[in-house]
Each structure stands twice: as C-alpha cells, then as structure tokens.
Structure 1
Amino acid sequence: MDWLRGLAIDEVWRAPDLSSLVAQQSPSASDCSAPADPAMTPVDSESRLRDSESTSRLPPDVERAEVEAWLDDHPDFTKDFFMRKATRQMIDAWLLSHAITQSLQESCLHRHATSVPGSRVTSGSVTPVRKISAHEFERGGTLKPIVSTVDGSPTFLTAPAPEPAGAGRRQRCRPRAELQLLDEKELIFELVKDICNDLDVCSLCHKILQSVSALTNADRCSLFLVRGEKESNTRHLVAQLFDVSSHSKLEETKRELRMPWGAGIAGFVAERGQTVNVADVYQDPRFNQDVDASTGYRTHSLLCMPIKDSSGEVLGVAQAVNKQGGSRFSAADEEVFASYLQFCGIGLRNAQLYERSQLENKRNEVLLDLARIIFEEQSTIERVVQRILLHALSFLQCQRCQVMLVDESCQGTFSRVFDIEADDLAAEDLESRTVPHEGRFPVNVGISGRVATTGRALNLADVYESPLFDRSVDEGSSLRHQSVLCLPIISPANRTIGVIQLVNKFGGMPFTKNDENFLEAFGIFCGISITNTHMYQKATTAVAKQEVTMEVLSYHATAPLEEAQRLQKSPVPSARCFNLDSFAFDDELLTDDDTLRACMRMFLDCGLLERFRIDQLVFCRWLVSVKKNYRAVIYHNWRHAFNVCQMMYTILKKAQWWGRLGDLECLGLLMACLCHDLDHRGTNNSFQAKVSSPLAQLYGTSTMERHHFDRCVMILNTQGVQILNNLRPEEYSRLVKVVESAILSTDLAIYFKKRGRFFQLLETGAFDWQQESCRDLLRGMLMTACDVAAIAKPWPIQRRVAKLVASEFFEQGDIEKNQLHIKPMEMMDREKKDRLPDMQVDFIDSICMPVYKAVASLSPALEPLVDAVEHNRRQWEQLSRTPSPPRQRTQ
C-alpha cells in the first residue's frame, strides 16, 4: 500500500475539500444509520470530518501523515479512489519500481541501483518490467513451441489444456503419528486421495515424502524431479524438496539443488531406472559425500527408487535416508516403497500437466501483455525497438539485449543497432535513449550475420567454442560474452529485416528451449511492429504531403483578392439587360466577366446575400474561385455551368417555386448548378473506370459527380471564400446536403433511378410539397432539366451546343480507340458522326422529353420548354432523313 498512499495523497491534496471526497464515497446520514467506521461513534465521525475540513488546505508536508493515516483507516475508499483516479503512468511506475528481480539487483550492485525509479516513467515511452520472468517457466520443463503453423501461417493460438479433475482442491495432511496408526492399505488409500485432490507439485511432493517416511520408518526423505528434455540431452535432476522430516514444514524444505544427469546415487537411479538399497553409503563409490559435508548431516543407509509414470518414463527419484531401528531398509520397505511410487508417478504426472496448463495461461498473458506494450507505441522505430529491448531484457533475464536492423537500401549491412544492458535499467537517460549506439557493419560477419543471412536461430552455450565469434569484441570491455541466443526478425512478408540477440543469461546458465520459444515470439512481434511502424511513418508522410498539396491547391485554386475586389466594384446590370429570365437566353456574346456579373445579379435579385448574411466581397471571391476551378475543356466548362445556373434561376422565377422550396433550398440549387461540373476532365465516368484513374479508385460510383461535390466543399472551406460562415449549424448542414444531392443527381444513372418514383407520384397525384422526399425528387429532376437545357434552346443555339458536346465526346472516343485500343461507344465514335441526328432524337426521347413534361405538369409556366424540345426534335428528325453528301476520297 506504500505506493498507493503516495499516489493517492497528491490527488487528495489537489481536491478543494477532503470532506467532499469522503462524502462521495461514504453513505449519507439519510441512507445509513450506522457510522462508516464501526469503531467510531457518529459524533467522533462528524468531529473527524470537521477536523479534516479545517486542515484540508494545510500544506502537504504538515498534514501528509494524517492523510496517509486516514487512507489506512479507509481501505475501501483507498481502493475505489485508485480504481477511479489511477492513470496508466501510475501503474507503469508501480510495475517498474516493484518488478526488478533479485538476480537483476545483484547484477546491478556496482551501480548501487536496486530498483528503477518510477518518477521518470511516461506511458508510451518506457516498458514496464514484468514481475514474471522466463525462469518461472523452467519449472514445468520445456513447453510446446509458442509459434505454431496453421495453413502455412504462424500463429500464437494453442488449444487449451484440459484442467485435471480436482484442480485447486487441497486436503488436510495428516500428522505422522496419525499416519503410523494406519495399516498399509489405509495409507495407500490416503495417499491416493492426496494424489487426486492436490495438484500443486511442491505440496504434493511434501505429502509424498512424509508418507514415505511413515511407511518405511525413515529418518528423512528427499525427492528429485527430472527437468530438461531427453531429445536435446538437457536432462538433469532438481531437488524439489530436501531433507523432509516428520516435523518439517513445506516452506522449510523447498530447495532448488541442481544435479547433473547420472551423477551420484540419485543420478544413477534416474539414468538406469533401477532401485539402489545401500546399508553404508560411504562404501558406495557412487555416493556424493559433498552433500553431507555441506549440510552437516551424516547419511548411513539409503533407499533410492525411481518414480515412473504409466508409460515407464522416469519422472523423478525418491530417497529414504537412515532407517530407524535398523542398518538398512528391508525388502518389505522396498516392496511398499515401489507400490507406493507407482501412485506417485501418476500423481506427479497429473501435477506436472496441471502446472503446464497454468504456465500456458501465464504465457498467454505474457503474449497479450507484449502485444499491448508493443502496439501502443508506433510513432517511431526507435521507440518501438526500445520497448521491445526493455521487455525482453527484464523477462528473459539476461545481461544484454540487442536488435540489429538490416539496411533497406542495400540489404548487405546492419544500418541501425540498438543495445541495452541490465545496468542501463537504472540509467538516468534510459527514457530518452532512442538513438542507435553503433554504426553500419556487414551482415555476413559473426553470429548475428550468420542468423541474418540464413534466417536460422543460433543458441550457443559458450561462444568461445564457436568459430563465428570474434573474441576481439571482449577486449577492453567489462562485458565478457559467454552464452548467446540470436534469432532472425521476420517481417509479415516473410523477409528477414534484422536479428534480435540475447547475451549472457543470469546465473551462468545457457539459454533454454523456453527462452528460444519466447524470443521467437518477441521476434515475430518485433517484425510486425517494425513493419507497422514503417507503414505508419509512410502514412504520416503521405498525410503531410497531402496537406501540403491541398494547401498549395487551395492557394492556386482560390482567386486572388484583387480579382474579387475588381468584380465587386464593377457595375452589375439588371436581369432584363442580360435577358436572364428567358428560356431563350444565349451567352455567346457575353464575356467571362459578364458571366460573373450575371451570376451576381441572379443571387442579388433573389436576396440571398442579404438573407444569409453573405459578405459581398467574399461572395465575389467565391464566384471567381468557382470559375477558376473549371478546366478549359470543349463543353463541360465554366460557360456550361453558368448556363445551367441561368436555367435554374429562370425556372424558379417562372414557376414561382421560390416560396414553395424556400430560400435555403433555392440557394443550394443555384450553388449546385455553378459547381456541378467542377474540375471536369472532358471524360465521363465510364472512361475513368476503364483507365482505373485515381478518381475511379477513390469513388466507387458516380465518380465525377462525387469529385465535383468534393471540390465544391473544398472551395467552401477555403479561407477567404467561406460564404456560408454566417449560417447556423443546422442551416449549414441542411444546405450542404441539398448541394450534395443536387450535384449527384446530374449523374444519369441516378436520374434513371429517381425518375420512376417521381413520375409515379405525379401520375397518382401523391406529390406533396410538404414532404422532403418529394422535394428532393423534384430538385433532382430540375438539375437534370437544367443540365440538358441546351436541348430546349432555340434551334441555332441547340445545334451549336450539340456540336460542342459531340466534339468533346469524339475526343474521348479517340483516346479510347488510339491509346486504350478499345471500341468506343457509338456516340463517341468519330466515324459515326453522321448518325448524330439519330442519336439526338434518341437522346430527346429517352432523357429530355420525359423530364420536361414531368416538371411542366407541376407548372404551366414551364410548357415553353416542352414546346422547344418538340421543335428541336423535329429538326433533328428532319436532318436524320436528309441523306448526307458523299465523302470525298482523299488522294
């Protein structure tokens, strides 16, 4: 609780009133009749709260002890306060300051550091050192590999091991005197119950030895368990419990004595699987007398037998020492001992399986913790590698950890080498140390080079016996290499991007198979994390480039202020002067400046600038910017957008729909008309899909229309042309939706989807001006009617515009034919230009005439549009019947 008190006190003193914090967690007087503390009366409680109130603003150095005492008296509040207030930094600091193991402390004594201060820890920069280490997993032998393969892909997922029956249930151990009163069958029965109900290895072994002592009348017993793997020739014996007597307790007999395989009587029995019964061990050359010398205990007689599982595999060795009342253990003792140990083998195997299942759960926790720690920091390669090194160093308990990354450009050298030693955990600059310590050196040199080039791990118990090790590395250095474990770092693309290397495991031991398994997991996480960090950095760079590009585009796409000021100062003629309110309007004689002034007149006549508090200079700059964002293509240029806006203005005026639709929707329609073809490239959606253009990849459907709308929004959000700044949030949101729906409606694919519903509403008389869905359909039909309005112009204008449209289509067809080597559509095939009249008739019948008749049915004022379309259809039909003059043959 020391760390919690330290954290909580500062939080308490930041509060304006300590009593308010107490009140938040304590029941009120109306809710509880008894005081929160049973030892305090209500009067005492109130008095203590008043004292807290009176002293809550005293300096911490005076009242710190009282606050700490109060927290001690209220553990429930303290715990709840921590759960609500503790930050990630606090937890990481606590883990760091409490998780340094004893072996690590001993290795750092010359640095007079016994723990890492938590005050320097910041979340996302320093890895908290785990309280668990890889050494804990050695108790269960070698676990199955962490990384397995499913369908050719590495995976950390493993099938959960079933929990043995009786897991977690412990039975009371009978005293020796009680056990001696039982006969042999009853003893065996008691032991079987212990084996079934106790799956903790140490506890079960202690019961086994005390029972053996009672059965054989031995002075004391010991039990050695087999560790390591037979296949890798790493088996050895570990004295799990040593010198267990009738009065010893479990905690007193725990000892981790390591014995070589085959050494001593115990080693002989484990290796051969044979029983040894000796009356005087000092007459047996196999006996190791150093044990008696170190303990001061004199061994005389010894009965040593192997413990085997059901398959005959030796799990351990049990020893009964010094037969009481006799010189040696009898044959009956051997028989009882042997029959008992058969049950022991089963119990030990179950206990080991259970222990392995527990370790498997812990290992999963390690992997989850590792994934969290690594992937929460992906800002830079340096920070990611630093966190990996710190975690690997503390978990795998070694003196040094290195990560060497292969140079991306040449693949022949290590470009960056990161190196952290155990002593560095107490270094003051550890948090800020992210720069690699070494420069470039060839990949094909030394142990790390061999791993990088071959992609295979190396585990060397003594590097001086390997020809790959360069002994000059240790010259002049305080670190002497002994054991090395080096594994490749593999990217998700199955490419070696570096190596991770551990040096000198603590205790002078070689790195085990478990260490290899865990380091392989570290390597995989490291590869994924480094790759993700590379992608993150590339994405960040791409976003930065995009922002710079957008800034440049906005600057060049926005009209200069001088042009807007010149437009604002120029006189704006009346709508009659421009003939703006006529269906027969023709822009041929107007200059570009005249078109801008005509647009201003339309918006001024509608009162939109005043209604929505749009600054006139800002509006002028917006108009000029919109015009500037149209490309110089043959037809879909600024003049086309201007004519579409003029037709929308005329329809709204003639049909008197301004009052029905409202100012906001009419403003949206006029803006949509001016912006509906922004940045048009002279090609249609089909062409964008054929060439797989960036626009086609960015937008799935209505490619060009969505691009037009995005450009419209970009201009509206550009500094200096934000004409909608004075709209209320709900008005702005509504207006943008109207503009978006209107611009997308100019896609003929969407027009065909909408018009069936619109025609049905008109035929059934269900069209309702009050319903938003009906008005949305109408706005879509009006956009199409205005977009193709050239078909409703007088015949000379119609024919001139039709030729412009055909010319633009033919240019697209030429590109498809000559560059893409595909056959263009008939309307875009220059060789089929003689069929233009027929195609125009089809265009009128399928698209134009239905929409003009539909909108005219809502207002008789629009009937002239239908008449004009019918007249132009007759003209095109007549041209289609007129035979074309024969083409002259070129010489």
Structure 2
Amino acid sequence: MGYLYGVSLQGIFMRHPNRTSQCVSQCSILIGYLHRTSQWGYPYRDEHKIQHCFCYTSTVLTSTLAFQKEQKLKCECQALLQVAKNLFTHLDDVSVLLQEIITEARNLSNAEICSVFLLDRHSHELVAKVFDGGVVDDEILNIPDAYAHPLFYRGVDDSTGFRTRNILCFPIKNESQEVIGVAELVNKINGPWFSKFDEDLATAFSIYCGISIAHSLLYKKVNEAQYRSHLANEMMMYHMKVSDDEYTKLLSEGIQPVAAIDPNFADFTYTPRSLPEDDTSMAILSMLQDMNFINTYKMDRQTLTRWRWDLDPKHSLDPNPIPDPKYNPDPKHSLDPNPIPDPKHNPDPKHSLDPNPIPHPKYNPDPKHSLDPSPFPHPKYNPDPKHNLDTHPIPDLNITLTLNTTLTPTPFLILNMTLTLNIKGYRDPPYHNWMHAFSVSHFCYLLYKNLELSNYLEDIEIFALFISCMCHDLDHRGTNNSFQVASKSVLAALYSSEGSVMERHHFAQAIAILNSQGCNIFDHFSRKDYQRMLDLMRDIILATDLAHHLRIFKDLQKMAEVGYDPKNKQHHSLLLCLLMTSCDLSDQTKGWKTTRKIAELIYKEFFSQGDLEKAMGNRPLEMMDREKAYIPELQISFMEHIAMPIYKLLQDLFPKASELYERVASNREQWTKVSHKFTIRGLPSNNSLDFLDEDYDPQAPDPQMNGCLDAEGHPESGAE
C-alpha cells in the first residue's frame, strides 16, 4: 500500500467467510502489517499465508465484535432502567425531577454540561432559548463544532471563559408525541464529538424524560385539586348562613337613589365608613343603578314578585365536609357531614347551589390547555392558558330557593344573591374586611362620577372595575403574601410559583361565588363578553399587589407624559390598574381623622401578623413588629413613595383629581407633625399603637369611633 521510511505498509481485505458468491461482497476485516522491504517487495506466498490464516480467525474476530456490541447494549439497557427508577422516584417535585434528568443525561453521555429547557406551549418558545430550529421541529441536532455553526452564540463563552466544543440537542416528547422540552448536552468528555450511538441513547433517554415530566405535572395538578378542595371546605366552615332578612330587605324596599343615602354621597369628601354596615348592600345597588349598569346589563326585577330563601336549620354547615358516598339528599334527613350528592340524585338546577353545574353544550374545553380533569365550569368561559386559574367552587351549601311564583330568578335576584354571598366571603380582620371593600367600591363610584370615566374606558371595563373592587380582598386572612410563603400555607402551595398569592386567591374566590348555581351575574353575557369580563377581573384584582404596581410604574409615568390614548389597548390596561390601586388606597384621600383611624386598623392587622411570625420563630419586618414600629415615619415613607406618586399620576391624567393629591399631601404633613411631637415628647414605651392616641393628635382630640365615622370624618354622635 505504500512505503514510509523504508517500511512497507501492506493492506489485505478479508471478507466474511460465510458469504456466498451470489452475495455482494463486503469487507469484514482490514489487516495491515509492516515488513522491512527488499528490492523485490513482498513475496506472494506471505500474503497467501496471511489470508489463509485469517479465513479461520475472522469468525472469532467478528463474533467478538458482536459480543462487545451486545455487552454495550446490555449496559445501555441496564443504565436506562436505572434512569427510569431514578426519574420516577422524583415525580412529586418538577424542579428536583429536572435536576435528576440533567444528572442522568450527563452520566449516560459523558457530557461535561447538560441543560434542560421546557417549551412554553402558548408562545411556542423555549424557556431558555437555544436554537430557533432543529429540536423544536422534532429533530436531533448534533453539532461537532459549535463555533462553526451559524446559530451558535459565542457571547456567553466570551464572558465566562468557557469553551463550547460540541453540542447534542434532542427533543423531549409527551405521550402525544408533542415536544414539551429540549435537552442540551455540551462537550463530549471521552471523544472528539457526540457519536451516532450517543444520538440513539439520547432518543431512548428522551422517552423516559417525557413520561416522567408529564406525570410529574399531572401529579402536581392532583395536589392542587386537593389543596383547592381543602380551601373550599375551610371557607365553607367559616361562613355563616345567609338569613332571610338580608335578602328580603334588599328586594322589598327597592333601590333608593344615592342622594337619599347622603347628599354628599357622590363627593370625594364623603367618608363611606360613616355608613352602617347593614346599609352597605343597598348602597352598592344604588351605585350600580346610578351608573346605569342594572339597565345596561339587563338586571331587571319587574318579573320577580315574592320569593324567599329556605335555609333549613337541619342544613347547617358541618365542620367536617369530607366526601362520602353515603350521602342521602333527602331533606327529611339531617345533613350528612359529607355533602357530596348521590349519583342517583338529580336536583333541579334552578333550585340548588350546585357547585358543578352541567356544562353548556357549546363548551368544549381544549384538553391541551389544562391537565386538570375539571376545567373551568362555566360554559362561556375559556380562560387564557397563560393565566389559567382553575378554581373549584364553594361546596354545596344546601341552600334551597323557594319562590312563591313559578318565575325563575331574574338577573336582579342573582345580583342580590351574589352581593350577599360576596359580603359573606369576607372575614373580619381589623382592616381587610367588607367595610374596606365597600370603601374601595365607593371610591370607584366617585371616580366614575367625578372624572367622567366613560370618556376614557368602555362600559364593560368600568363594570369590571367596580365588581373587582367588591371582590378584590375576598377571604383575606389579615396576612400578606410573604407570610403565606414563609408559613407554607395552602395558599402558598397553590399560588406561590405564580406570585401574588393572596391576589390570586381573591380572584379564585370571586370565581367560586360566580360558579355557585344562581349567583352568576354575568350568566346572560355572550361568550365573548363573559370571557372578557373574567379576564378583566383577573387583571384588575392582580393589580392590587403593590409589587405589580411598582413593576408598571414607569409605564404609567410614560402614559401620563405622552397623554392617554383611548385607542391604545395598553393604555386601557394601565389605566385600569392605576384606578384600582388608587381605589385600594383611597382611605388616604379622606380627612385626617379618618386617615389616622385607618392607620390604627392597618397596624393592628400588621402587628397581629408580626406576633404570628414571632411565634413561628421568624423575625418580622419593622412595620409588623409592635415593639419596633415607628408609625409616623412608616406612614410618611408610605405616603411619599407609594400614595403620593399614585395620586400625582391620577392628577396628571385627570385634572379634576387634584384635590385627591392635595389631601394626601395634607395628611402627609399631619404625620410629619405627629412625628415632630414624638421627637420632642419622647417615644411611647409600651405599644407602637400609642402613636395614635388622641393625646398626640396634631388636631383636636378625637374620641373613640368604634369603627363608624360621619361624612366629614368625625365620629357619629353616641359612638363610643
């Protein structure tokens, strides 16, 4: 074959000995041997001897090669079985599972680095994008030289000093053969690049990855369903029964005009907390009528004559609502502690608060959008998968509606039912209770009346804003998001990965009320309007998280600078968020006495959370610690960094809102005076709430109000 430094390299092709002459000849072995050359080269007899020898030994060699191949396949199968064992023991945590996938893939392929990227089905992009083509198109991508590939980005290597030599990317598929992720192997350790064997191994490995990830996500969905069930039971245990009087009063007296509630009811100076809580339901209806929403959305009450809610004393709320097939819905029997309907029982849907109404024939949820076996119950709502918040409604409360006529409940009756259930959905912490929700809703009404919001927003957006104000703190526990996460509560288990834990829970409870049979005030909406209404409510309620407000603050400033454009959809969304935040903080726009009283309620709630955190062994924030909180400075900081910028933006967009900003600034000055007085007199020694004692009021002394204020922010006569 050639000569090199006086040495002859001779090659001999050996064919398989069992090949027949009819078969296409195939080289099995290539033999190379060296021999010191002579003038006459190699004798023919030497070559003949070698060929004759290997006719017998070639079979042994080929058998040995086949045995080695089988051994390699056996090791591969054993390794894959061990991989399956390791992966399927970590289905309870997706993050741990992905880390295990990375470890196993690196060990199997002898790669230096491995990364896993999950595919966002909605945007069809990788969470951490690697390549635009190849694996996302269901193909394995083997790159021997990464720097020579046109799609490789060298910036990361240049900044870290790491050198990427070769890459193997392969898709991860689910049981439907849809790509759900991509694995990336970098730098083959014991070879120049990844071989065809590595590609075959990666293909087999990806099957286990896809199955394990899909089952892990399904396992997570099952756990979330259990958490939702626990929350629903907890909420049901807490709520009191709804009395006949609450409904009868709303319907028998009729809706009174807002002027009859108070002549200044539509003025920014009016203090909604001066209204007795028993009158707030009627005030909500009066505001809805004054904003013309009852007529616009056909909430007609003329067809309703007489009605009543039949709350049988036997149907009390059992504290242990665990499902049990022995449930007997016969009203003659006492309520079984396991309120799950018998399969043979088919109650009239008009007369029952069935939490799982029969799906609408037009409703065909896309199974690709949810792993939950029970997607959104309402027939007209197909939620955006990006914001999927599947919520199990409140369990059946066994409340039966008995009408004295044959008429079905009208939307107006549904509105009253929903309103009362909404009030019952609030707990009784010092601040985040129904009176706070009513105050926020009233301020939304004030914005509508005084700032002419109909010139800036659509009717459905304003309606969604008002309803969101009513629902924005449903089932608030008097603790914030960080406490839920730190305490590892059920709420944190449900929503911590998405952020805004409490806000998502508030929206979930609003949906639970709407999903209760006979309580859906949007039931007559078209499918398009229904979906838009719930999407608006979701976005508006999530906007009450101040962290969300701080994220969009620069966008709000930019909108205020360039001017509001009614044709710009983003401006609509930003304005709704700003209005919701301004409503949520509206207590700061009232008189000083109201603001001071609200601060007392807020810090009572804060200090209660701080006490819980101390009991857990954690150190609370200064504002939560009754022993360290300096309320005047905390309030001044809150006014300067949160409240005043919000109402300054509102003033820039709506010149008529200037009095709101001025009143907030005035309250900020009052807190400065309080702080100055304490600097002179010395700090209180026992309790931070002593800052709010009437003796230290910069204005006239304020007697205890017992939660009620008059329209000017003064306590009602006779209040203790």
TM-score normalised over the length of structure 2: 0.50
Aligned to 2:523: 725
Q: Does 1:846 align with 2:558?
A: no
User: CA-atom RMSD, angstroms?
Assistant: 4.6
Give the C-alpha shift of residue 555 in structure 1.
5.7
Q: Does 1:607 align with 2:292?
A: yes
1:167-566 paired onto structure 2 within 5 Å: 170-172=19-21, 196=27, 343-351=55-63, 353-354=65-66, 357=69, 545=226, 549=230, 552=233, 560=242, 562=244, 565-566=247-248
Kindly indicate whether the alpha-carbon contact (under 8 Å) linking 1:630 and 1:680 is maintained by their aligned counterparts in 2. yes
Deviations 1:844-874 (A, max 9, x none): 2211122212212222322221232232223
Deviations 1:537-568 (A, max 9, x none): 98898577557546646766697584674233
Letter in 2 for 1:793: K
Q: In 2 relative to 1, CA 870–749 (structure 1 residues): closer, same or farther, beyond 3 Å?
A: same
Aligned to 2:451: 655
Give the C-alpha shift of residue 370 in structure 1.
14
- Identity level (%): 29
- 1:338 and 1:749 map into 2 onto residues whose CA distance is 82
Gaps of 5+ in 2: 1-12, 33-47, 89-208, 300-410, 687-720
Aligned to 1:786: 583
Greater fraction helix: 1
Partner SS for 1:831: coil
Q: Identify the match of residue 816 of structure 1 among 613, 632, 640.
A: 613
- 1:170 and 1:625 map into 2 onto residues whose CA distance is 87
Letter in 2 for 1:865: L
Aligned to 1:581: 266
Q: Identify the match of residue 826 of structure 1 among 597, 622, 640.
A: 622
Aligned to 1:423: none
Gaps of 5+ in 1: 1-163, 175-192, 199-308, 311-335, 377-527
Letter in 2 for 1:172: S
Q: Identify the match of residue 630 of structure 1 among 426, 431, 440.
A: 426
Q: In 2 relative to 1, CA 788–661 (structure 1 residues): closer, same or farther, beyond 3 Å?
A: same
Kindly indicate whether the alpha-carbon contact (under 8 Å) linking 1:631 and 1:679 is maintained by their aligned counterparts in 2. yes
Give the C-alpha shift of residue 352 in structure 1.
6.0
Kindly indicate whether the alpha-carbon contact (under 8 Å) linking 1:792 and 1:866 is maintained by their aligned counterparts in 2. yes
- 1:636 and 1:784 map into 2 onto residues whose CA distance is 15
Give the C-alpha shift of residue 359 in structure 1.
9.8
- 1:671 and 1:876 map into 2 onto residues whose CA distance is 33
Q: Does 1:618 align with 2:414?
A: yes
- 1:627 and 1:548 map into 2 onto residues whose CA distance is 21
Q: In 2 relative to 1, CA 166–710 (structure 1 residues): closer, same or farther, beyond 3 Å?
A: farther
- 1:598 and 1:656 map into 2 onto residues whose CA distance is 20
Q: Does 1:641 align with 2:437?
A: yes
Q: Does 1:773 align with 2:563?
A: no
Give the C-alpha shift of residue 690 in structure 1.
3.1
Deviations 1:589-631 (A, max 9, x none): 4333311111111122222233234511111121112211211
Aligned to 1:859: 654
Q: Does 1:711 align with 2:560?
A: no
- 2:660 and 2:631 map into 1 onto residues whose CA distance is 22
Aligned to 2:100: none
- 1:773 and 1:537 map into 2 onto residues whose CA distance is 35
Kindly indicate whether the alpha-carbon contact (under 8 Å) linking 1:695 and 1:704 is maintained by their aligned counterparts in 2. yes
Q: In 2 relative to 1, CA 793–358 (structure 1 residues): closer, same or farther, beyond 3 Å?
A: same
- 1:627 and 1:641 map into 2 onto residues whose CA distance is 9
Give the C-alpha shift of residue 836 in structure 1.
2.2
Deviations 1:186-238 (A, max 9, x none): xxxxxxx979569xxxxxxxxxxxxxxxxxxxxxxxxxxxxxxxxxxxxxxxx
Give the C-alpha shift of residue 747 in structure 1.
1.4
May I ask how many residue pairs the two structures share in their alignment?
420
Letter in 1 for 2:419: L
- 2:685 and 2:66 map into 1 onto residues whose CA distance is 96
Give the C-alpha shift of residue 677 in structure 1.
1.2
Q: Does 1:683 align with 2:474?
A: no
Aligned to 2:491: 695
Partner SS for 1:738: helix
Give the C-alpha shift of residue 684 in structure 1.
1.7
Determine which structure has more spread, i.e. the larger CA radius of gyration: 1
Deviations 1:699-748 (A, max 9, x none): 23222222222222222223222222222222122222221221122111
TM-score normalised over the length of structure 1: 0.41
Kindly indicate whether the alpha-carbon contact (under 8 Å) linking 2:472 and 2:507 is maintained by their aligned counterparts in 1. yes
Aligned to 2:168: none
Deviations 1:406-441 (A, max 9, x none): xxxxxxxxxxxxxxxxxxxxxxxxxxxxxxxxxxxx
Q: Does 1:753 align with 2:551?
A: yes
Give the C-alpha shift of residue 361 in structure 1.
7.1
Aligned to 1:739: 537
Q: In 2 relative to 1, CA 674–540 (structure 1 residues): closer, same or farther, beyond 3 Å?
A: closer
Give the C-alpha shift of residue 338 in structure 1.
12
Letter in 2 for 1:738: L
Give the C-alpha shift of residue 887 in structure 1.
7.7
- 2:684 and 2:213 map into 1 onto residues whose CA distance is 66
Letter in 2 for 1:343: C
Q: Identify the match of residue 251 of structure 2 among 568, 573, 585.
A: 568
Give the C-alpha shift of residue 577 in structure 1.
2.3
Q: In 2 relative to 1, CA 757–347 (structure 1 residues): closer, same or farther, beyond 3 Å?
A: same
- 2:598 and 2:51 map into 1 onto residues whose CA distance is 108
Q: In 2 relative to 1, CA 351–625 (structure 1 residues): closer, same or farther, beyond 3 Å?
A: same
Kindly indicate whether the alpha-carbon contact (under 8 Å) linking 2:273 and 2:439 is maintained by their aligned counterparts in 1. no
Partner SS for 1:830: coil
Report which structure shows greater RCO (CA 8 Å, sep ≥6): 2
Q: In 2 relative to 1, CA 548–756 (structure 1 residues): closer, same or farther, beyond 3 Å?
A: closer
Aligned to 2:632: 837
Give the C-alpha shift of residue 650 in structure 1.
0.6
- 1:826 and 1:570 map into 2 onto residues whose CA distance is 49
Deviations 1:159-205 (A, max 9, x none): xxxxx99799954269xxxxxxxxxxxxxxxxxx979569xxxxxxx
Partner SS for 1:584: coil
- 1:887 and 1:660 map into 2 onto residues whose CA distance is 48
- 1:798 and 1:345 map into 2 onto residues whose CA distance is 99
- 1:600 and 1:612 map into 2 onto residues whose CA distance is 13
Q: In 2 relative to 1, CA 369–730 (structure 1 residues): closer, same or farther, beyond 3 Å?
A: farther
Q: In 2 relative to 1, CA 371–789 (structure 1 residues): closer, same or farther, beyond 3 Å?
A: closer
Q: In 2 relative to 1, CA 563–345 (structure 1 residues): closer, same or farther, beyond 3 Å?
A: farther
Give the C-alpha shift of residue 678 in structure 1.
1.5
Partner SS for 1:857: helix
Q: In 2 relative to 1, CA 642–343 (structure 1 residues): closer, same or farther, beyond 3 Å?
A: same
- 2:460 and 2:226 map into 1 onto residues whose CA distance is 37
Kindly indicate whether the alpha-carbon contact (under 8 Å) linking 2:485 and 2:496 is maintained by their aligned counterparts in 1. no
Give the C-alpha shift of residue 584 in structure 1.
2.3
- 1:356 and 1:751 map into 2 onto residues whose CA distance is 65
Partner SS for 1:692: coil
Q: In 2 relative to 1, CA 339–197 (structure 1 residues): closer, same or farther, beyond 3 Å?
A: closer
Aligned to 2:134: none
Partner SS for 1:635: coil
- 2:590 and 2:509 map into 1 onto residues whose CA distance is 29
Kindly indicate whether the alpha-carbon contact (under 8 Å) linking 1:554 and 1:718 is maintained by their aligned counterparts in 2. no
Partner SS for 1:882: helix
Q: Does 1:804 align with 2:601?
A: yes
